[in-house]
Amino acid sequence: MPAASIRARVRAEMVSEIKDVARSHLATDGANLSLRAVARDMGMVSSAIYRYFASRDELLTALILDAYNALGAAVEAADAAVRDRRKFRVRWLAATRAVRHWALANPAEYALIYGSPVPGYAAPEDTIVAATRTPAVLVAILADGYAAGVLASGDEPGTSPVQPSKAVRADLATIRGSLAVDLPDRLILLAVTSWVQLFGNVSFELFGQFQNTIEARAEFFDQQMNLMADLMGF
């Protein structure tokens, strides 16, 4: 192995060690991440960090990207682990539980990507792509169910009293396009609804809104996700 790539490998290890330390700081300080504190923990002088990240914002961006990808990977793995691909409700529960478990295991990173935005920080475009990974899995499960003929398209009367307006249908079309799935409006709408319900539940649990109210958190979550599965028709 040429010497140059050794240097590159050491460099990559340093980058990931800095991110690891920064992640552990997120847990206590939230998004008020301090470069100096990270450097201190690594036994370096604060200016040394600038060899690896051009600024605090760049480090934050890296952490946000990693978080989206870690969550996305966890959800993909959970769905992929379901042997019988035609058991759509099982896949749905596996994927949504993976979101909850990842969030509970990494609360600070979850807050970084799904909590209130960091003041004065604007996420670059890259993060938007990574953010799509998780919803893509959820929609794929729905699309598979629809393709298998399990889910009703909703054309029959009585399934959806309030029809989406033209503007909403345009948004649904955008989603259909960007995720490249062939689903009728009603199911895309339900997918978004379920997506909101999923993250709404996780955020409420993590951010303390369920305190003194919902104590059987795991069971309640399953109940909610089953309700959404009922709605979608799995």
Comparison of 77 and 196: residue with beta carbon closer to a copy of itself: 196
Comparison of 31 and 179: residue with beta carbon closer to DNA: 31
Shortest Cβ 128–DNA spacing (Å): 23
Alpha-carbon radius of gyration of the chain: 21
Tokens of 122: 């604007």
- Residue 83 binding partner per list a copy of itself, DNA, none, with a CB distance cut-off of 5 to 8 Å that depends on partner kind: none
Among 162, 177, 181, 191, binds a copy of itself (CB under 8 A): 162
Tokens of 183: 């689903």
Footprint on residues 183-202 left by a copy of itself (CB under 8 A)? 189, 192-193, 196-197, 199-201
Q: How many residues bind a copy of itself (CB under 8 A)?
A: 55
The Cα 118–Cα 213 span in angstroms is 29
Comparison of 29 and 58: residue with beta carbon closer to a copy of itself: 29
The residues that touch DNA, with contacts defined as CB under 7 A, are 2-4, 6-7, 11, 14, 33-37, 43-48, 50-52, 55-57
The Cα 95–Cα 187 span in angstroms is 18
Q: Does 149 bind a copy of itself (CB under 8 A)?
A: no
- Residue 12 binding partner per list DNA, a copy of itself, none, with a CB distance cut-off of 5 to 8 Å that depends on partner kind: none
Q: Does 154 bind a copy of itself (CB under 8 A)?
A: no
Shortest Cβ 19–a copy of itself spacing (Å): 19
The residues, any chain, with a CB within 8 Å of residue 52's CB and separated by 6 or more, are 11, 14, 15, 18
Among 32, 34, 46, 47, binds a copy of itself (CB under 8 A): 32
Comparison of 14 and 197: residue with beta carbon closer to a copy of itself: 197
The Cα 93–Cα 81 span in angstroms is 12
Asked if 34 contacts 25 with a C-beta cutoff of 8 angstroms, the reply is yes
Q: Does 5 bind a copy of itself (CB under 8 A)?
A: no
- Residue 36 binding partner per list DNA, a copy of itself, none, with a CB distance cut-off of 5 to 8 Å that depends on partner kind: DNA
**In the chain, what is the greatest distance between 2 CA atoms, to the nearest angstrom?**
70
Find the angle CA(47)-CA(48)-CA(49) to the nearest 5 degrees.
90
Q: Name the amino acid, one letter, at 92.
A: W
Angle between helices 133-147 and 185-207 (to 10 degrees): 140
Asked if 30 contacts 108 with a C-beta cutoff of 8 angstroms, the reply is yes
- Residue 124 binding partner per list a copy of itself, DNA, none, with a CB distance cut-off of 5 to 8 Å that depends on partner kind: none
**Residue corresponding to tokens 């600070």:** 108
Shortest Cβ 124–DNA spacing (Å): 15
